[in-house]
Structure 1
Amino acid sequence: MGELKDRAKGLGNEVAGKAKQAAGKANDDPALHARGKAQEKKGEAQQLVGKVKGALGDSI
């Protein structure tokens, strides 16, 4: 079950990060754009953790 939870959180962070990046670009706010990029990368990492858990089992 941890696999799905991690992947869902990761997807949520990726979507939120992309939205922040777009808002930062539209409002000419480089700090918001950078925070969005960081959040998107965090989401990608969470999804990777979910994929690894799926491959190895939730016991890790």
Structure 2
Amino acid sequence: MADAVVFSPAFPATAWALGGMGPWTVTTVRAVLAALIAAIAGIAAVVALVCGAVTQRAGR
């Protein structure tokens, strides 16, 4: 159910984007946004792991 909610705007967003931009531009923008989201998630995971390791060393 969650996947339907998350991905349901994908087709209308594609149709809207292609109305104002070319297909390669839309593809590039989506790839850059996906890379940014992945980078932010990766950095957040590393920070969480480092903070957890520091907290365990401190005996908290």
Name the TM-score, length of structure 2 as normaliser.
Answer: 0.48
Structure of higher RCO (CA pairs closer than 8 Å, 6+ residues apart): 1
Name the TM-score, length of structure 1 as normaliser.
Answer: 0.48
